[in-house]
């Protein structure tokens, strides 16, 4: 960035400014503009261009909607939507208030700008606490629409004491200290203890300072005091490519997330019939009961499958392949039936129409071909997906009719021993 560019960038001089006047320098179409768009160059702008991990501002130039802002070769281009009737006719753009040489009114989406400012300053404060107090470096930053992330140099999420980190951040927010902006030159870059290296190709380096605690080269928009962050909440941690990814939210958005979470927690407590403070104990008790019921249900299902297999065995001809069609039940039920049949020494096929799945089981027999060899080609021909072991095969299909065709085929193959 050069000094002339700084004068043109009102979003740096006053990031709280949501409206301004400017003059249209030029309007043009080129390969960087999508169909139905033109790009507009202004003599000055409040629209922040995408960069440094921060998305662009959106809003309006007169009546024309600004959908993207990009810095291209040192110039800030505003990509605006144009009406269909103006496509191919630059003169008609004047009806949208877009004509080279005219003064125009600019208006940004202020909620989006404030969100970006609070998230970006929140990231600086979070990264500063991790760096200064714990020696954990920030490797990358992403500013999203629902949450933000930083990837940090820790190897394990357990290395980050969340309550302690959040308490330190809250202390800085409560103190409401200044967030200062420095430009080098005229200031001396070497006088700042930078948290990360500055860009090497910039004539003017912009440094964001959190009141004698953190200095970081940055081209984004920021709040003026830490108290304007209002809150910062670390949402979760996860291992990511040998480092740790930190999910967080700042500002008004963080408070809204906390409010929604608490409202959902109250509703959950009401359903459980307890107070909010007793949710965990009630859930643990319920989970224990559910686990016990699931074990009992599994034993009952196994005994039922064994009984049905024995009944089918007693009614079938010697060496016949047993066939099951459990009504309104899924492949898990079919699997229990064919395994129970195999335990009795019989091959079996189960067709589950509810999820269009076929499972096949044969008795282990040396020298017998694998079920995959017998069935995989037909399954693929019918558009199915699946697989299994030499003695067990499961296939899912897009419709009950296709699954029925495959089940009939599988039974025939098992009876004849060949496709």
CATH architecture under which domain 113-269 falls: 2-Layer Sandwich (3.30)
- DSSP structural state of residue 178: B
Asked if 177 contacts 154 with a C-beta cutoff of 8 angstroms, the reply is no
Q: With 0-12 CB in 10 A as exposed, 13-18 as middle and 19+ as buried, what is 416?
A: exposed
- DSSP structural state of residue 401: H
Report the pLDDT averaged over residues 336-355: 92
Our CA dihedral for 292, 293, 299, 302, rounded to 10 degrees, sits at -140
- 254-310: per-residue pLDDT in tens? 999 999 999 999 999 999 999 999 999 999 999 999 999 999 999 998 999 999 999
> pTM of the predicted model, to two decimals?
0.74
Q: How big is the chain, counted in residues?
A: 419
| Rg of the Cα atoms in the chain | 33
CA distance 20 to 9: 11
Q: What percent of the chain has pLDDT over 90?
A: 77
CATH number corresponding to 3-108: 2.40.30.130
Q: With 0-12 CB in 10 A as exposed, 13-18 as middle and 19+ as buried, what is 254?
A: buried
pLDDT at 95 over 60: no
pLDDT of residue 416: 83
Average pLDDT, the chain: 90
pLDDT at 86 over 60: no
- 174-213: per-residue pLDDT in tens? 999 999 999 999 999 999 999 988 888 888 899 999 999 9
pLDDT of residue 45: 96
* Residue 328 pLDDT class (50, 70, 90 cuts): confident
Report the pLDDT averaged over residues 400-408: 94
For the chain, what are the domain ranges? 3-108, 113-269, 302-416
pLDDT of residue 52: 83
pLDDT of residue 31: 62
Considering the four listed CATH numbers 3.40.1400.10, 3.40.47.10, 3.40.50.261, 3.10.310.30, the one that applies to the domain covering 302-416 is 3.10.310.30
């Amino acid at each position: 960035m050069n000094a002339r560019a700084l004068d043109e960038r009102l979003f740096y001089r006053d990031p709280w400014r949501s409206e301004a006047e400017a003059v249209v320098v030029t309007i043009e179409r080129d390969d960087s503009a999508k169909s139905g768009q033109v790009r507009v160059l202004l003599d000055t702008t409040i629209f922040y261009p995408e960069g440094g991990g921060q998305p662009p501002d959106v809003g309006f130039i007169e009546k024309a909607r600004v959908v993207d802002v990009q810095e291209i070769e040192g110039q800030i281009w505003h990509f605006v939507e144009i009406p269909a009737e103006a496509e191919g006719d630059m003169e008609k753009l004047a009806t949208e208030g877009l004509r080279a040489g005219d003064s125009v009114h600019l208006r940004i989406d202020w909620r989006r700008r404030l969100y970006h400012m609070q998230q970006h300053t929140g990231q600086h404060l979070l990264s500063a606490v991790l760096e200064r107090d714990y020696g954990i470096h920030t490797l990358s930053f992403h500013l999203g629409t629902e949450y933000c992330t930083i990837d940090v140099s820790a190897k394990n999420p357990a290395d980050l004491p969340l309550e302690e980190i959040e308490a330190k951040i809250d202390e800085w927010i409560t103190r409401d200290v200044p967030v200062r902006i420095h430009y080098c030159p005229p200031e001396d870059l070497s006088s700042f203890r930078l948290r990360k290296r500055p860009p090497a190709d910039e004539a003017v380096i912009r440094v964001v300072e959190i009141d004698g605690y953190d200095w970081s080269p940055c081209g984004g928009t920021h709040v003026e005091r830490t108290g304007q962050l209002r809150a910062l909440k670390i949402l979760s941690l996860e291992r990511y490519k040998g480092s740790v990814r930190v999910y967080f939210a700042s500002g008004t958005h963080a408070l809204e997330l906390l409010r929604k979470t608490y409202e959902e927690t109250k509703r959950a407590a009401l359903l459980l019939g307890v107070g909010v403070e007793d949710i965990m104990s009630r859930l643990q008790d319920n989970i224990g009961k559910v686990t016990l019921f699931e074990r009992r249900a599994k034993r009952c299902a196994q005994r039922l499958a064994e009984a049905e297999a024995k009944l089918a065995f007693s009614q079938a001809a010697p060496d016949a392949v047993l066939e099951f069609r459990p009504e309104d039940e899924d492949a898990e039920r079919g699997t229990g039936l064919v395994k129970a049949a195999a335990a009795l020494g019989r091959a079996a096929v189960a067709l589950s129409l509810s999820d269009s799945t076929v499972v096949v089981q044969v008795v282990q027999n040396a020298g017998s071909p694998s079920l995959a060899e017998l069935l995989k080609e037909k399954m693929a021909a019918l558009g199915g997906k699946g697989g299994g072991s030499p003695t067990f095969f499961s296939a899912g299909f897009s419709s009950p009719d296709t699954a029925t065709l495959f089940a009939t085929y599988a039974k025939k193959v098992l009876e004849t021993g060949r496709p």
